[in-house]
Structure 1
Amino acid sequence: MKRLNRVLPLALANLLILNSTMPAFAAQPTKKAPSEKEEVIYITLDANGKPKSGYVVNSFSKGDITDYGNYDSVKMLNTSDPIKQNGDTITFSTSAPKAYYEGKLKDTKIPWNVSLRYYLDGKEYPANEIAGKSGKLKIRFQITKNADCKGSFYNDYALQTNFTLDTKQCSNISAKEATVANVGSKKQLTYTILPGEGIDTTITADVKDFEMPAVAINGVHLNLNVKVNDKDLKGKVNELIGAVDQLDNGASAISGGSENLLTGSSQLKNGASSLKSGISSLDNGVVTLQNGLTTVQNGLDTLNSKSESLTSGSAKFKSALMTIQSAVNSVSVTNKDLSELTKASGQIKQAISDLYDGANTLQSSLGYSQYAAIMDQNGVDLNALLAGNSSAAASLQGIEAQLDGLAKSNPQVADQVAAIQGQLSAASSQISGLLNGNSAAIGGIQSYLNGISAKVPALTQGLSTLNTQYSTFDSSISQLVNGLGSMTGNLSTLANGINQLVSNYETLDTGINDYTDGVAQIVAGYTQVMNGVSSLAEGSKELVSGSGELYDGTVELYDGVATLCDGAQEMADGTSQFRSETSNMNSDVDKQIDSLLNSIGGNMDNPTSFVSDKNTHVDSVQFVISTEAIEGEKKTEEVVNQEEDLSFWQKLQQLFKGDQETNK
Structure 2
Amino acid sequence: MKKTNKNNNHKFLSKNYIKGAISGALALTILCSGVGVAAYSAGADNTAQALGVQTESTVEAVKKASTTKEALKKLSKNETVYVIADANGAAKKIIVSDWLKGVDTKGKVKDVSNLKDVKNVKGDETYTVNEDNAYEWAANGDDIYYQGTGTTELPVKLKLSYKLNGKTVSADEIAGKSGKVTIRIDYENTQKEKVKINGKTEEVNVPFLMLSGMILDDDNFKNVEVSNGKAINDGTRTIVAGFALPGMQDSLDIDKDEMEIPDYVEITADTTDFELSTTMTVAMNDIFNDVDFSKVDDKVDELKDSLDELEDAAEQLVDGSSQLYDGIGTLLDKSGTLIEGIDKLYDGAEQVNSGAKKLDSGADGLSSGAKTLDDGASKLKNGASQLDSGASQLDSGLATLAGGASQVDNGAASLSSYVATLAGGLGKLSSNSATLNGGAEQVFNTLLSTADTQIAAAGLTADKLTIKNYDSVLEGLISSLSDENAQKLAYNTALETVTATVNSQKDVIRTAVEATVRKSVTEQVLVAAGLGMTADQYDAAVAAGQVSEEVQAQVSTAVSTQMSSSAVQTAIDSNTEAQIQSLIETNMNSEEVQSQIQAGVAKAQAGRKSLQALKTQLDSYNTFYQGVLSYTAGVDQANEGAQQILAGTYTLKDGTGSLVSGAGQLKNGSSSLKSGTSELKSGTSTLKDGTSSLKSGVKTLKNGTSSLSDGTKSLFEGVGTLKDGSAALVDGVKQLNDGAMTLSKGMKKFKEEGIDSIVDAANGDVKDIIDRFKAVQKASKKYNNYSGISDDMNGKVDFIYKTDSIEKK
After TM superposition, the score normalised by the length of structure 2 is: 0.32
After TM superposition, the score normalised by the length of structure 1 is: 0.38
